[in-house]
Amino acid sequence: MKKKLTYGLLTLLLLNPIISWSADAPLTIATSVKANTLAFRVGEKVINQVSQLIKVPLKLIHLPADRASHLFSLGSIDAEFSRVSDYQKIRPTAIKGQEPISKFPLYVFSTDKMFSVEGWHSLKPYRILTVKGWIFTRDTLANFNTVEVESPFQALRMLKAGRGDVFVADLFSANSILNEVEFDRGDIKRLEKPIAVLDTYTFFLAKHADIAKAYSGALATLKREGLYQKILRETR
């Protein structure tokens, strides 16, 4: 395993340019996932591993999705951690990392609406909670009965209070919140099966094109050598 890992890291160094980073502050990467959750800890560990490989200081920070998008457009943050590919339509000058940061199924969560999930049309009869700045669900559910909220935490809280019928989210983000004290895991149920499966990518400011390339190469190496999967399995 050690020889294989060494070979993978050597390949990464040969295929990617040496990145020069002289700034005192680290490159900031925003995520809408709250900082005290399992999902954030996983993301932070992945970012730290990538940072070591490309020799550029990276810092994962929490910002609501809509605010992160605004600050990214102003150049006030350097990257957005996890966005669907269509985010490029909104930020055409941004550089999309070519290696997916995650691949995850989206599930429907509800308290009392039990039905068979058969595509997005099966949500038509219900009030759907959506998160501001979540581009994919916003666009997909444009002609549905939706209630927009500020965060996944608020969505699940409103779902529990009966102020919405269903909420669509990835399992990782939802479970991180449902593990918090105020939620009884029996109150909110996940419906089978996934309504969609998404790849997400990290988007960088155009001035960080070289870093985006090196970042993607490092991320691919982590996956190839099994380190990415180990982080997912072992982080608590």
* Single-letter residue type at 18: I
pLDDT value of position 176: 73
pLDDT value of position 170: 85
Give the separation between CA 18 and CA 41, rounded to whole angstroms: 28
pLDDT value of position 196: 92
DSSP 8-state symbol, 12: H
Give the separation between CA 33 and CA 151, rounded to whole angstroms: 9
Domain ranges of the chain: 2-101+200-234, 103-197
pLDDT value of position 12: 45
**Phi, psi angles (nearest 5°) of residue 62:** -95, 130
Cβ within 8 Å of residue 214, ≥6 positions away: 16, 17, 19, 54, 56
pLDDT value of position 19: 53
- What is the full per-residue pLDDT of the chain (236 aa) written as tens digits? 444 444 444 444 444 444 555 556 899 999 988 888 888 999 999 999 999 999 999 999 999 988 999 999 999 999 999 999 989 999 999 999 999 999 889 999 998 888 888 899 999 999 999 998 888 888 899 999 999 998 888 999 999 999 999 999 988 778 777 777 567 656 888 898 899 998 999 999 999 999 999 999 999 999 999 999 999 999 98
Give the separation between CA 223 and CA 128, rounded to whole angstroms: 35
**What's the Cα-to-Cα distance from 25 to each of 67, 78, 105, 235, rounded to whole Å?**
21, 11, 35, 27
pLDDT value of position 21: 54
pLDDT value of position 22: 53
pLDDT value of position 215: 98
Domains 2-101+200-234 and 103-197 share a fold: yes
Tell me which CATH code domain 103-197 carries.
3.40.190.10
Strand runs labelled E in 63-216:
79-84, 95-96, 102-110, 128-131, 146-149, 166-170, 189-204
Q: Which CATH class for the 2-101+200-234 domain? A: alpha beta
| Token digits of residue 99 | 């290696």
